[in-house]
Chain A
Amino acid sequence: MLQQFLDRFSLTDFLLKIFQIVAIIILVVGVFKSLGADKYTSGQWVTLIFAGLAQGSIYALIALGYTLVYGILLMINFAHGDIYMAGAFTTVFLANSFAASGFLASSPFLAVLILILFAAGVSMVLNVIVERVAYRPLRGAPRLVPLITAIGASFAIEYSFRGFYGAEFHSYPLIPALNGLNYNIAGFSVPSVQIVVLVAALILMVALYYFIEKTKIGKAMRAVSEDKEVARLMGIDVDKTIMITFAVGGALAGAAGVFNGLFRPQGVFFFMGFIPGIKAFTAAVLGGIGNIPGAMFGGLFLGILEAVGPNLILEGLGIPAVNQLRDAFAFSLLVIILIFRPQGIFGEKLSEKKA
């Protein structure tokens, strides 16, 4: 009995287990102490949660791009955060001229719709170009190789846009129709912009879900992600399907860029995609990479965790200025998930080939 146990015992597993237990203890202690301190009212928590949901829906839209590409090519499109930046950055100029002409004030719905379509178009085209130039020539190469070109593509995009539009920060105009307006949800007031962003993002996600599940192209995408060779034998144009996947992922990222601009007008610049890119990847992993509903829930979940987590967990541990550590908190979450549940919350255990 003991012998059997010793045979199976591995130091790595043991230490990882200890690490896991320590992480859980820290979490529980932090939560209890924070809640015990009674520093925030329930209204403040609700505000945080809704801000988190709006931010999370943006992560979810970006995460869908990661997940779609990973599902088909089993590669991380490292440049995806910058695709999001490209859409947001290019559209900021259009948005500002809409605001200057009064179009944004007179018909806000139509104006925002045009902005979303424009950003989605820019990101879509760019993502397709990246796929064509940086990934397609390397089909079948060792897995590290496309990852390296993806890193290269990421830098090339960032600094190209810096060259095009300059290194300054830009900001989206405020929408007069939404500015300062609050909705009342169950007695708590929530900024209307957050509700609009959340609803619009949810509509896009549902549309994507139907696109993947119900249309013929969606079927082809699922077939290619299952097995490229067999899909080819069934008469599916694999290269074209991959291109469409990148196009869809890019369009969602571009739309996310405009939502981000509505929700957080400031801080549009060439490096803005880097952090959301890693966070969206975290969201995709959280939901199980390759899993489309997983990415949606992962994004929303990460948004809430990130908004509430530092105040809920870190503050109780006596750490000052927790908001500075928000990004570090999200990245730590990524590490912890990948250590203990690499298949994500909703993901099935992936085979060795995919993991």
Chain B
Amino acid sequence: MNILKENFRTTMLRFGLVGSIVALYLAAVGMIETFAPRMLIGTSITLGHVFLLLAAVGSGFFSARELKEHSLGITATAGFISGAVSSLFLVILTFVIQFFVIQADQGSIFKLREMFVNFSPTLLEFLTFGKGLILGNILLIGLFGIMGVLGASFSFLPKRIRKGWINGLAWVFGIGLFSENVGQIFREFNGTSLNKLLFTGKSLNPIAALLIFAIVFAAGYYGVKTATNNKWKTFSPDQQKQGRLIFTVLGILFLVALPWMVGLFLSQALFIIGMYVMMGLGLNIVVGYAGLLDLGYVAFFAFGAYTMGILTSTGELGRVGFSFWAALPFAVLAGVLWGLLLGFPVLRMRGDYLAIVTLGFGEIIRIMALSNWLASLGGGAQGILHIPQPELFGLVLDSPQLMYYLVVLGALLAAFVTIRLRDSRLGRQWMAMREDEDVAEAMGINLVQTKLLAFSIGAAFSALAGAIFAARIGNIFPHSFNILISMNAISLIIVGGLGSIPGVIVGAIILIGLPEMLREFAEYRLLMYGFLLIIMMIAKPEGFWPEKRRRQELKDERDRQLASQTAELEN
């Protein structure tokens, strides 16, 4: 009975307890309860279940990975036990809710529910599957154990089956999660019959789920992806070039057609993604290329928006009544000037001091905009109202679909400028400065000029995004320009990969697009950003789509570490 040996027990217990803490955390923070009404498959499997069982799957997976060299039976048992252990705190929680919330003494001085707002009877009902305390808990423990085995299966199944298995589950989960959006796209194409086939109500129907799983499983099992890749490699370079051209044209057509395929609501999401891509590309120059961590990036966004507002507004605060296009250059210019002005005092600062001071700048600008002092200029807390929408050859860009094109043009412009700058002398100066300021200066780089250029060019894109934002929403208020915008921008370029242009787009889609589509997540968006930043920095500091040069650097670093480790071992 190997399974009872001490190291097995400690492995299972350790991962089980960590999983248990995670599960309790998810319950306390309210995720399980908030996501419980969101159906994924049929009416029985909800997003709440997925979050509830996440901890069990995780602990099963990690303990199975630890015991990988053992037989299938042992790893599966280990998965089961650690999965079951990870239900421990939730089981305790059910009793706590029963006795301290539901049967709580009305006159008692300390009310648990007032502190932990999520420990509600609904949560108890969900955790025990409505089967009462005893039977419900037995079910809960059993389910957690089974999910532990599921987690373990990600590690013990043979490679080909595993691939199909994981892909299949992921696809079903993904389509279930985005069922509303997928359904919306089908509706735009009059695909009502397909819609009826796949979805019942708002969730995936169980038969369709099985079907999707079977298809994806088969594709994964027979290695469709590798086969396609191999086929691609057999083409001659000329053919590959042509193929790439075709893909590019298709990609552009796709971008053009996109807002009309997805409907009004998702077009608005696309607009926001595009805006953040623009800002991200600008911030990428400052942080990714020049290595200056700017946490007050929202200030330039605000300057762009306010300049646009003051110049074009038809309300009381509008000064000149310019059109959108006449005001746009001034908004960008305002961004550049403020970039220089705010960049100048921080020239001598590095790293963390720079970060805090720029953060302070962002807050100062917001507080000023809110104050009565400047109210005659920017409207104070009332903001600027009645900013007209842009007009192009008599066509008013008043829908998110039309504004989307404007924002895509802006983003393309930003990408073009970024690429050209990256490959220019200035770009190399930025990167030299990022790696080592002193050495860069010794090589004859003018640090003042280089830094100020980075700040002002970055600011220009932020101001451009701000100006378009102001024209889109029509009314601007100081509260729209809070620190969270800076945080969104900085998180998305880090998650995508610092210094990488496709990374910015990937980051914007993941961090901005997903929460826009999944309204349930809105409340937990920043919580997830926080954890994502930590996890990314520890596990994948180069981001999801790293810059080529940085990828090489990191690889070199890893090789060197490996070499030194082997050298140590040999000694």
Contact = CB atoms under 8 A, between A and B. Distances in A.
B352 A75 contact: yes
A321 B373 contact: yes
Given A163-B524, A164-B28, A278 B356 contact: yes
Contacts of A183: none
Interface in A74-131: 75-76, 93-94, 97, 100-101
A219 to B, nearest CB: 27
Given A151-B490, A335-B360, A339-B345, A319 B530 contact: no
Nearest to A11: B448
Contact of A93 (B114, B295, B527, B534): B114
A327 B361 CA distance: 11
A320 B356 CA distance: 28
Given A143-B352, A319-B373, A328-B368, A93 B347 contact: no
A148 B293 CA distance: 9
A152 B533 contact: yes
Nearest to A151: B533
Question: A76, A155, A339 — which one has the most chain B CB atoms within 10 A of its CB?
Answer: A155
Contacts of B361: 331, 335
B308 interface: no
A157 B351 contact: no
B344 interface: yes
B349 to A, nearest CB: 6
Given A100-B109, A155-B533, A331-B360, A16 B345 contact: yes
A163 B530 contact: no
Interface string A312-346: 00000001110011011001101100110010000
B527 A160 contact: yes
A151 B494 CA distance: 12
B263 interface: no
A47 interface: no
A149 interface: yes
Interface in A273-295: 274-275, 278, 281-282, 285
B537 A156 contact: no
A46 B74 CA distance: 74
A278 B490 CA distance: 18
A334 B368 contact: no
Given A12-B347, A338-B357, A328 B530 contact: no
Interface in B493-542: 494, 523-524, 526-527, 529-534, 537-538, 541
Interface stretch (B115-123, B274-282, B424-432): B115-123
Interface stretch (A28-36, A133-141, A237-245, A300-308): A133-141
A141 B357 CA distance: 23
A299 B532 CA distance: 33
A325 B364 CA distance: 8
A12 B351 CA distance: 19
Contact of A97 (B109, B116, B350): B109
Contacts of B532: 152
B373 A76 contact: no
Nearest to B351: A143
Nearest to B539: A137
B285 to A, nearest CB: 16
Interface string B87-109: 00000000000000000000001
A321 B371 contact: yes
A209 interface: no
A3 to B, nearest CB: 21
Contacts of B110: 93-94, 97
A184 B276 CA distance: 57
Nearest to B361: A335
B348 interface: yes
Contacts of B364: 328, 331-332, 335
Interface in A213-249: none
A164 B370 CA distance: 31
A153 interface: yes
B31 interface: yes
B487 interface: yes
Contacts of A160: 25, 29, 527
Interface string A56-83: 0000000000000000000110000000
A97 B107 CA distance: 12
A304 to B, nearest CB: 20
B348 A339 contact: yes
25 contacts: A15-B344, A16-B345, A76-B355, A101-B109, A134-B534, A156-B530, A163-B28, A163-B29, A163-B31, A164-B118, A165-B116, A275-B363, A278-B359, A320-B373, A321-B371, A324-B370, A325-B368, A327-B367, A328-B364, A332-B364, A334-B357, A335-B357, A339-B345, A342-B348, A342-B349
Interface of A: 11-12, 15-16, 19, 75-76, 93-94, 97, 100-101, 133-134, 137-138, 141, 143-149, 151-160, 162-166, 274-275, 278, 281-282, 285, 319-321, 324-325, 327-328, 331-332, 334-335, 338-339, 342, 355
Interface of B: 25, 28-31, 109-110, 114-118, 291, 293, 295, 344-353, 355-357, 359-361, 363-364, 367-368, 370-373, 448, 483, 487, 490, 494, 523-524, 526-527, 529-534, 537-538, 541
Given A147-B293, A332-B360, 10 more contacts: A151-B487, A156-B527, A159-B524, A163-B31, A164-B118, A319-B373, A327-B363, A327-B367, A331-B361, A339-B345
